[in-house]
Amino acid sequence: MLKRILLVTFTAAILACQAAPKPQKLVEGIPNIKPDEQQSLVCKEIVALIENYNYKKLTLNDSISSLILDKYVKALDPYRSYFLASDIKEFEQFRTTLDDQFRAGDLSAPFYIFNVYSKRYNETLDYAIAHIKDKYDFNQNDTYVFDREKMPWVNNTTDLNEIWKKRVKYELINLNIAGTAEAKNVETLTKRYQNLKSQSSKLNNQDVFQTVMDAFTETIDPHTNYFNPTNAQQFNEDMARSFEGIGARLKLENDVLKIDEIIPGGPAFKSKLLNTGDRIIGVAQATGDFEDIIGWRIESSVAKIKGPKGTKVRLKIIPVGHEMSSKPVSIELVREKIVMEDQSAKKEVKTIQSNGKPYKIGIITVPGFYADFKAANAGDPNYKSTTRDVRLLIDTLKTRDKVDAIVMDLRANGGGSLVEAIDLTGLFIDRGPVVQVKDLKGNIEVSEDEHPGVAWDGPFGVMVDRLSASASEIFSGAIQDYGRGIIVGTQTYGKGTVQSSIDLNKLVNPSILQRLAALVQKGPNSSGLAIKGVKDSTPQLGQINLTMAKFYRVNGSSTQHKGVMPDIVLPSFYPMDKIGEDTEASALPWDEVQRSNFVAVADLTAIKPELVKLHNERMEKSLDYKGLVQDIEDMKKRDTESSVTLNENKLKAERDSIEVKTLEKINKMRASRGLAAVKKGDKIKKDETFDFVEDETMHVMADFIRLKK
């Protein structure tokens, strides 16, 4: 029904819109990038879809236009390093008009803004390149302000050039401290900035259109997203969970490639050599020289890192928590085929001593809520799914390992299949509602576990962290509401919204697509791509993920915004004020619906305070806990810093001091576990690594077993 309604809306608009885009003001001195007719029409339809089918039920207005403008400018120049104050003043003419322009498919304003940005960007790089060979005094006590996000826009080019001259000096100091010769550093930095210019010259109108639509849709809500044809293909490959590479999701932050997520089961995950937050500054193949990728387009960097399975790639990284001036670490990985739906839940059995008694704890790590729906629909009786895998693991833990308790590790589990979240919950409860879903009309549907019996009725715990989201929150919330187990960790992400993926091409008849192709081909800015089953001239329109519903726990509370609060709360290494749904200005609010008709398995109200008390007593004596708290405080302190010294000796001394303190802390913790001290540069063996959260969760489970008895 929805598809039919959308088809009518979309087709009618395309038939009605035959006008070319509005003439765009040109920026002198650069090749101007312009939108094409296809993008104009897609923009109109995104407005229509959002206004008619987004859960927020909003209409674009001047207020939203203002927010879009601010988000767009910030996306282009987050640290105020390129635009001048006069540029920003000129852009004010668009503050209350973008809503009307987008509704009409007029993209001239944001494309003009981008072209101004492009001119400023290249001007600053030209200046930087021209001054890399200048003579710098690295013993001066001057500073470089690297984070200008909250500072005023620069008034003139002279002041902007002064900022960039300090940036050049800072980057040269970083290279000096890393230990390479000054002449080589000048060459490296020159190539870095030339690469930035080269990547900038490769931008096309699809890149600009994606940036514009990101600012637009993210202003509506964090999970309504448009994907241009190239990005739509990448998104669908991710959803299919099959690609060849190192198994890491990457993002670009301040011109540096950063590890955004380590995919469980991939080479990066198995090697233990990469962590979320690590920055990749160089790439090389099995043989050959490293290429400095700072400032590259993310697609270009990813293309260097990806490759056929069985081949080797070498990465030069700055580990998370280290300054960019730190000496980079070189690692080598063998690429593999990452088949996400084939990633399985895994088990491990550990024994812990508590009050002089041993307890065997089975730990099941679930990387995602996966299911091979294609095999299931084809009738394959052995199709892959989270629930089926976990059921087999539980059976082994019960009959062969004879564990005293089971812990489900959902840390960094961003979700997946809703059906699997419901079925997995059913392994621990005997029938009953698991989650409630409210659509944009306000209708509430209760999804239940309809399978009788349980796979495990013994002591149960769940580990979560700030990156546990969506289906993970449905599962852990249901376990908590039913009194079925103890939740340990940090407050979860808080993603309680449901998105529907809409392929815009499927909403348009082939004949209409051909008419659209004729429009696109009239201009020099065509961005159309061929699609399967249609003539080669037919353009792709991309797709939109539209927020159309919300999740609620069986107790009536939304998982949106608040997520799930653990029973035993641990400090979060991930900054709570920067990661999570409650940090998104456009996120839907938390609310409640009526409690569903469920019967709790147990009432743990009385036992939880005692568990918290015992936990707190351990934390008072724990070096690992104190170390984690100190690490978090140090990270918060670094996050408040916006400038850095340009005195090379001082900067090196600061870095050396941090390294000494870090090594002292590591050895103090190793000594507490009876391990030998390590020296600077030593690699810690895999079997000597210590998972503090896991260890404390096992102690909590031992307490839980004793208190229940």
Q: What is the DSSP letter of 553?
A: -
Q: How far apart are CA 303 and CA 306, in angstroms?
A: 5
Task: Supply the DSSP string of 352-387, one letter for each residue.
Answer: EEETTEEEEEEEEE---B-B-HHHHHTT-TT--BHH
Q: Which residues, listed in sequence order, are joined to residue 353 by a DSSP beta bridge?
A: 358
| Token pair of 702 as six digits | 């031992």
Q: What are phi and psi of 65, to 5 degrees?
A: -55, -45
Q: Which residues, listed in sequence order, are joined to residue 79 by a DSSP beta bridge?
A: none
Burial class, 709, CB count within 10 angstroms (exposed 0-12 / middle 13-18 / buried 19+): exposed
For residue 193, which of 164, 162, 236 has the smallest C-alpha distance? Answer: 164
Helix H segments across 290-417?
298-305, 373-377, 386-396
| Token pair of 372 as six digits | 């091979």
Query: Using CA of residue 526, residue 531, residue 537, residue 542, what is the dihedral sign?
Result: negative
Measured at the alpha carbon of residue 474, what is the angle toward residues 470 and 477, in degrees to the nearest 5? Answer: 125
Q: Are strands 357-365 and 346-354 parallel, antiparallel or unpaired?
A: antiparallel
For residue 145, which of 489, 646, 709 has the smallest C-alpha distance? Answer: 646
C-alpha 485 chain-centroid distance = 29
Beta strands in 112-224 (DSSP E): 143-145
Answer whether 610's CB lies under 8 Å from 707's CB. yes
Q: Is 706 helix (H, G, I), strand (E, B) or coil?
A: helix
Q: List all residues 6 or more positions away from 113 whose beta carbon is below 8 Å from its beta carbon.
A: 72, 73, 76, 91, 94
Q: How far apart are CA 433 and CA 448, in angstroms?
A: 4
Q: Which residues, listed in sequence order, are joined to residue 487 by a DSSP beta bridge?
A: 462
Active-site residues, by number, are 470, 481, 495
Q: How far apart are CA 232 and CA 224, in angstroms?
A: 14
Element (H or E) spanning 348, and its range? Answer: strand 346-354
Task: Supply the DSSP string of 432-452, one letter for each residue.
Answer: EEEEEEEETT--EEEEEE---
3-state secondary structure 69-138: HHHHHHHHCCCCCCCEHHHHHHHHHHCCCHHHHHHCCCCHHHHHHHHHHHHHHHHHHHHHHHCCCCCCCC
Answer whether 559's CB lies under 8 Å from 551's CB. yes
